[in-house]
Amino acid sequence: MDLISKGWFSEIQDDLWPGQSFSLKVKEVLHKEKSEFQDIQVVETETYGRCLILDGIIQCTTRDEFSYQEMISFLPLCSHPNPQKVLIVGGGDGGVAREVVKHPLVKEVHQVEIDDRVVQVSKKYLPSMACGFDSEKLVLTIGDGFEYMKNHKNEFDVIITDSSDPVGPAVSLFHESYFELLKQALKEGGVVCSQAGSFWLDFDYVKKTMKGCSLHFPKVGYAVTSVPSYPCGHIGFIIGSLDANRKLEKPAKRFEKSEIDALNLKYYSSNIHEAAFTLPRWVEKHFYE
């Protein structure tokens, strides 16, 4: 199916967000291919800069990606007192790696991405994100995250899962068994963070995923950020800690304004960290009671 009609890309996904769709006016299609795993497109838009689209779903635009990439990275990193060794599962555009390597306590970052074509296309068309791959702290492996973790036990302080939505290849990353694997790959007191969908669209799914996470993690929270190019302009993250006493909404590491500026953070701050866990009453009631 052609995703672009009369110069507009429309994100139509009847299974994931029935009856609604976000559209972007397209200036030019820069790249289009079918990899072994998915359809990959990069388009230049009129008002959101460049946009990466996988299987018809917007992954990031250069205008607003920092909100997602900073929050999925710094929420878990700052929920851990000493996040020296980090694993990123997915994140083929490089934006999460770009953020994680900024953290002053992070020494070593390993990333496992299944689709090398996403990495190569991002290097060519999305250099402001793919610059994350250039860090000396980073080791990139092309392969399956499940298989990778089976061979890496008790290794990481923080694991971030930057996946696409729970359809196709990413569906298993939302299952309870995935959280069990994450737990085994973590060191004592480790923290995980996964893209988890929006409470506006995926209410039951988020709740179910939180339940799966809480079978293996004594402390579980859900935090949100605003991303205008995602459906409903909104997305959330599930964060799990192996330390039952950790208060996820209170950053273990607080950054001063000068540090935030030095790290070139545009969205994340310690105040935003605390606010991100504050949920509307109806959501809080259903997620936590």
Q: Does 140 bind ligand SPM (CB under 6 A)?
A: no
**Least spacing, CB of residue 278 vs ligand SPM, in Å:** 20
Closest CA to 61 of 10, 129, 6: 129
Active-site residue, selected from the candidate residues 115, 162, 202, 243:
162
Which CB sits closer to ligand SPM, 78 or 130?
Answer: 130
Q: Does 162 bind ligand SPM (CB under 6 A)?
A: yes
**Least spacing, CB of residue 184 vs ligand SPM, in Å:** 24
**Least spacing, CB of residue 130 vs ligand SPM, in Å:** 11
Q: How many other CB atoms are found less than 10 A from the CB of residue 275?
A: 12
CA distance 286 to 281: 9
**Least spacing, CB of residue 280 vs ligand SPM, in Å:** 17
Q: Which run of H or E residues covers position 44?
A: strand 39-45
Closest CA to 193 of 213, 171, 207, 177: 213
Which CB sits closer to ligand SPM, 71 or 96?
Answer: 96
Contact at 8 Å (CB) between 51 and 43? yes
List the beta bridge partners of residue 237. 195, 223
CA distance 180 to 257: 37
Which range binds ligand SPM by CB under 6 A, 113-121, 161-169, 254-262, 275-283?
161-169
Instruction: Name the residue with the smallest CB distance to ligand SPM.
Output: 197
**Residue from 76, 83, 91, 145 that binds ligand SPM (CB under 6 A)?**
91
**Least spacing, CB of residue 273 vs ligand SPM, in Å:** 19
Q: Is 261 a catalytic residue?
A: no
Which range binds ligand SPM by CB under 6 A, 111-119, 160-168, 261-269, 273-281?
160-168
**Collapsing DSSP states into helix, strand and coil, what is residue 64?**
coil
Is beta strand 23-34 parallel, antiparallel or unpaired with respect to 39-45? antiparallel
Which CB sits closer to ligand SPM, 202 or 243?
Answer: 202
Extract the tokens encoding 1.
């199916």
Q: Interface residues for ligand SPM in 174-203 (CB under 6 A)?
A: 195, 197-198, 201-202
Q: Cα–Cα distances in Å, from 261 out to 76, 79, 268, 281?
A: 20, 20, 11, 33
One character per residue 39-68, x = contact with ligand SPM (rule: CB under 6 A)? ------------------x-xx-------x
Instruction: Provide the 8-state DSSP code for 14.
Output: T
CA distance 101 to 69: 12
Q: How many other CB atoms are found less than 10 A from the CB of residue 259?
A: 14
Give me the active site residues, please: 162
Residues in contact with ligand SPM by the rule CB under 6 A: 57, 59-60, 68-69, 91, 93, 95-96, 162, 164-165, 195, 197-198, 201-202, 230-231, 235
